[in-house]
């Protein structure tokens, strides 16, 4: 959770001195009195490093010392929102703030409305406050509101609010405008802005990490890794840079190096289930299934009951068990996924995929049939089942399933790359060409993955159809 500070602030000499003073006093048992915002800074630092209980203790101390002060109550309210989705508690903390004209109070009330799904109500509230505040506050109010909307991926509103600010030459404006450009997919413009910010502050890990994120999103993986390395040269323990570099190495297929950086990331963020899950997945790709399982178990312990990560954790854990020949244990792990509200029909298909991959075809069949029946012959479930059956080597069965799928759902546009691959394997040239043509139109990326080995490596997918027409003498 980010309350009010950038990661650059936590790496500043000013903050490090305050933290050192606080920790020395704690170790010696001396009472130290800080102002409410200083307490919050230290609590946020601890929170971001996985020391949640210590952070809460500091915040509670600040609230006791400064009842009604905005900063610690804002922190508690945002914890209630982001960690526990507890709207009532967030409102309770907001109501305890003495200064109801504090701009941060306005942002918090709007954030609570956003979490309630009342986006237009939040926007009207902020518009009213914008009209009420002093003119010299309006530019930065608009920028802060922009940042709030970006945090919640409400980019249309962010675009509207950034235009209200005339402080276009300020660092704060450029930071948020660069984020908007990145969210809008204008990576070139966002990178220009982040580079401009870096030119003015080359020791900002925040800017280097933001630049890396933009480069990563437009698939400039090696450039993104280089930006991470600049951030790590400034601070070798910067968690964001460690995670970004690990992700870059992973995407390049360098799983051993990625594993090192995921491990370093987890040392900085020991309570993040995402890091442990990624370590587990890297170990799985390196065929170290025992270590993979160990980290999936840690990830499960770290996850909240409603964590969206849990389904993937259980599925990967089950896969690793399956690779060790422990198929019955893998089914037991998938029982956990079944109890947390995931898509039950997709889970049935996944169970079937593990069983069929372990040579237990007849057992897998009952799960596939149940998934198809329970989903009322959903085209997505039929397609996923057909793909699993194709990948298991049962090409004729998969062929019949795809035939049935497109006969029943002629407007279904997914899966044609697999259907084309099946037709190619069965030497059904005319059907292959027909489905290839649809595949490259509807799913070019999937076509590259599934059919790429049939074509020259550097060929773009839009040339696949004509190339194969010529190759098969059908042109």
Q: pLDDT class for 49, splitting at 50, 70, 90?
A: confident
Q: What angle do CA 126, 127, 133 make, to 5 degrees?
A: 85
Average pLDDT of 205-212? 96
Q: Which long-range contacts (CB under 8 A, 24 or more apart) does 389-393 make?
A: 389/356, 390/418, 390/421, 390/422, 392/353, 392/356, 392/357, 392/361
Q: Is residue 289 part of a domain?
A: no
Q: Whose CA is closest to 397, among 435, 363, 425, 437?
A: 425
Q: Is residue 9 part of a domain?
A: no
Q: Is residue 364 part of a domain?
A: no
Q: Is residue 173 part of a domain?
A: no
Q: Is 3 a residue whose pLDDT tops 60?
A: no
Indicate the average pLDDT of the chain. 94
Q: Is residue 217 part of a domain?
A: yes
Token duo for residue 386: 């057909």
Q: Is residue 276 part of a domain?
A: no
**Percent over 70 (pLDDT), the chain:** 99
Q: Is 2 a residue whose pLDDT tops 60?
A: no
Full residue range of the structural domain in which residue 189 is found: 185-271
DSSP characters over 244-311: HHHHHHHHTT-HHHHHHHHHHHHHH-TT-HHHHHHHHHHHHHTT-HHHHHHHHHHHHHHS-TT-TTHH
Q: Which of 13-17, 213-217, 351-355 has the lowest mean pLDDT?
A: 13-17
Q: Is residue 367 part of a domain?
A: no
- pTM equals 0.84
Average pLDDT of 391-407? 96
Q: pLDDT class for 5, splitting at 50, 70, 90?
A: low
23: number of Cβ within 10 Å: 12
**Distance from C-alpha of 285 to C-alpha of 474, rounded to nearest angstrom:** 41
The predicted-structure confidence for 53-71, as pLDDT tens digits, reads as follows: 999 999 999 999 999 999 9
Q: Which of 164-178, 332-346, 451-465 has the lowest mean pLDDT?
A: 332-346
Q: Is residue 256 part of a domain?
A: yes
Q: By the 8 A CB rule, do 381 and 413 touch?
A: no
Q: pLDDT class for 338, splitting at 50, 70, 90?
A: confident
Q: Is 359 a residue whose pLDDT tops 80?
A: yes
**Distance from C-alpha of 107 to C-alpha of 459, rounded to nearest angstrom:** 51
CATH number of residue 262's parent domain? 1.25.40.10
Q: Is 1 a residue whose pLDDT tops 60?
A: no
Average pLDDT of 129-153? 96
Average pLDDT of 132-152? 96
Task: Report the number of distinct structural domains present in the chain.
Answer: 1
Q: Is 448 a residue whose pLDDT tops 60?
A: yes
């Amino acid at each position: 959770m980010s309350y009010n500070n950038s990661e650059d602030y936590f790496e500043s000499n000013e903050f490090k001195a305050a933290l050192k003073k606080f920790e020395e006093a704690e170790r010696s048992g001396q009472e130290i009195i800080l102002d409410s915002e200083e307490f919050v800074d230290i609590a946020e630092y601890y929170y971001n490093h996985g020391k949640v209980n210590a952070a809460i203790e500091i915040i509670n101390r600040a609230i006791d010392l400064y009842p009604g002060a905005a900063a610690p109550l804002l922190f508690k309210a945002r914890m209630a929102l982001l960690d526990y989705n507890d709207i009532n508690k967030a409102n309770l903390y907001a109501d305890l703030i003495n200064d109801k004209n504090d701009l941060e109070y306005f942002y918090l009330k709007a954030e609570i409305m956003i979490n309630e799904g009342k986006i237009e109500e939040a926007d009207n509230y902020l518009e009213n406050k914008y009209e009420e505040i002093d003119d010299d506050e309006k530019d930065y109010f608009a920028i802060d509101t922009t940042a709030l909307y970006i945090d919640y991926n409400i980019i249309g509103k962010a675009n509207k609010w950034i235009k209200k600010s005339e402080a276009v030459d300020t660092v704060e404006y450029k930071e948020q405008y660069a984020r908007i450009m990145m969210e809008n997919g204008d990576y070139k413009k966002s990178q220009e802005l982040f580079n401009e910010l870096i030119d003015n502050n080359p020791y900002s890990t925040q800017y280097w990490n933001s630049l890396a994120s933009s480069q990563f999103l437009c698939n400039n993986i090696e450039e993104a890794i280089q930006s991470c390395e600049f951030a790590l040269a400034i601070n070798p323990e910067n968690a964001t840079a460690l995670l970004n570099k690990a992700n870059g190495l992973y995407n390049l297929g360098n799983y051993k190096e990625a594993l090192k950086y995921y491990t370093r990331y987890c040392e900085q963020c020991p309570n993040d289930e995402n890091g442990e899950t990624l370590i587990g997945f890297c170990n799985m790709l390196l065929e170290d299934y025992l270590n993979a399982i160990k980290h999936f178990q840690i990830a499960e312990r770290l996850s909240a009951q409603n964590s969206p990560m849990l389904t993937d954790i259980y599925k990967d854990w089950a896969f690793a068990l399956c690779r060790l020949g422990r198929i019955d244990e893998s089914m037991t792990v998938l029982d956990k996924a079944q109890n947390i509200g995931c898509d039950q029909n997709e889970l049935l298909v996944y169970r079937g995929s593990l069983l069929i991959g372990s040579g237990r075809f007849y057992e897998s069949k009952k799960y596939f049939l149940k998934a198809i029946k329970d989903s009322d012959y959903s085209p997505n479930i039929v397609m996923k089942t057909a793909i699993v059956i194709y990948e298991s080597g049962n090409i004729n069965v998969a062929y019949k399933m795809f035939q049935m799928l497109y006969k029943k759902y002629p407007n279904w546009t997914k899966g044609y790359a697999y259907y084309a691959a099946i037709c190619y394997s069965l030497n059904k040239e005319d059907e292959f060409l027909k489905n290839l043509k649809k595949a490259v139109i509807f799913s070019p990326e999937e076509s590259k993955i599934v059919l790429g080995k049939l074509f020259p490596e550097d060929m773009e997918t839009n040339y696949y159809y004509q190339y194969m027409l010529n190759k098969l003498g059908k042109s």
